[in-house]
């Protein structure tokens, strides 16, 4: 069952993201990476409204990702995507002008803060806005590349395409400034500014949890032998390092399997090893 609180925050986040996109980024002809960047290219070239392209691009991605993403993550992502689409359609009929007098530095800063805050709220609530996030999860399923690496590669591809189409290096550089701010704000809101999290779980259902984490979140798991001080009972603790975007999914998965599990979540300042700096063959990722 989807939680009303999560849905509420996903919709609020979608509103902030859409507001920054519609009233700051588009009027000042800045760009974006990922699927949103494709939407903007089509809008600037052919005048196709972003809300319409957002839903048209994401429909086939959701169909493809139906069997790959967990149902809960897929539903929350669908809410995020439809939320952005609805807000953009609403803002199309509400004329608002933000008088920054074409100061692209201020536009990049304010737009980055608003869009980053919106995405951070969405990610913290367990959702996504679809697009490149779904592509990254699919790519990670069948390749040795991480989700973050695939998203970065797709963003670079879209921004390179933007330069080739519009020959507008100046505005793309302002966009890079804005995207950097978006990334920092997302990190600050969603997980306190750290990219990975170490999760330690004490539960009598440790093996069931380990199996579920392996199948649904696709992160490595280590079982650590432990003993309760008072009970003197031996158990296996579960330890896993995950990406920040997977934290909400991890917590909900643990709660579904064992609501009484004892969980410790720590900030992982630097993570080295398979899935992060090494591929499945124990070889360093190509840079």
Confidence class of residue 113 from pLDDT cuts 50, 70 and 90? very high
Confidence class of residue 72 from pLDDT cuts 50, 70 and 90? low
Mean pLDDT of the chain: 84
Higher-pLDDT residue of 69 and 202 is: 202
Q: How far is it, in rounded angstroms, from Cα 118 to Cα 186?
A: 8
Give the pLDDT score at 101.
75
Tokens coding 207: 């093996």
Residue with tokens 């063959």: 281
Give the pLDDT score at 287.
45
Q: How far is it, in rounded angstroms, from Cα 253 to Cα 212?
A: 8
Give the pLDDT score at 173.
93
- The percentage of residues in the chain with a pLDDT greater than 70, rounded to a whole number, is 85
pTM, two decimals, is: 0.68
Give every CB contact of residue 69 below 8 A, 6+ residues apart in sequence.
Answer: 77, 134, 137
Residue with tokens 């609180």: 5
Mean pLDDT of 71-89: 84
Q: Is the pLDDT reported for residue 104 higher than 50? A: yes
Sign of the Cα torsion 12, 162, 52, 246 reads negative
Q: How far is it, in rounded angstroms, from Cα 104 to Cα 269?
A: 33
Give the pLDDT score at 129.
80
Mean pLDDT of 136-161: 76
Mean pLDDT of 79-91: 92
168 backbone dihedrals φ, ψ, rounded to 5°? -120, 70
């Amino acid at each position: 069952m989807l939680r009303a609180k999560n849905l509420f925050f996903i919709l609020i986040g979608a509103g902030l993201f859409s507001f920054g996109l519609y009233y700051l980024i588009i009027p000042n002809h800045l760009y974006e990476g990922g699927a949103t960047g494709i939407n903007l290219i089509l809008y600037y070239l052919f005048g196709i409204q972003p809300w319409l392209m957002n839903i048209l691009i994401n429909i086939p991605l959701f169909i493809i990702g139906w069997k790959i993403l967990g149902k809960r993550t897929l539903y929350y992502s669908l809410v995020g995507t439809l939320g952005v689409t609805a807000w953009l359609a609403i803002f199309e009929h509400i004329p608002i002008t933000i008088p920054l007098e074409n100061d692209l530095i201020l536009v990049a800063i304010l737009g980055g803060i608003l869009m980053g805050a919106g995405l951070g709220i969405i990610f913290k609530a367990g959702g996504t806005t679809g697009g490149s996030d779904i592509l990254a999860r699919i790519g990670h399923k069948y390749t040795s590349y991480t989700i973050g690496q695939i998203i970065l590669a797709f963003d670079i591809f879209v921004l390179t395409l933007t330069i080739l189409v519009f020959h507008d290096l100046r505005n793309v550089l302002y966009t890079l400034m804005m995207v950097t701010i978006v990334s920092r704000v997302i990190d600050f809101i969603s997980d306190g500014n750290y990219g990975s999290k170490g999760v330690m779980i004490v539960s009598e259902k440790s093996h069931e949890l380990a199996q579920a984490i392996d199948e649904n979140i696709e992160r490595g798991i280590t079982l650590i032998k432990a003993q309760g001080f008072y009970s003197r009972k031996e158990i296996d603790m579960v330890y896993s390092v995950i990406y920040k975007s997977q934290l909400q999914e991890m917590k909900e998965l643990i709660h579904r399997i064992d609501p009484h599990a004892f969980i410790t979540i720590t900030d992982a300042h630097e993570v080295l090893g398979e899935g992060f700096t090494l591929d499945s063959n124990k070889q360093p990722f190509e840079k």
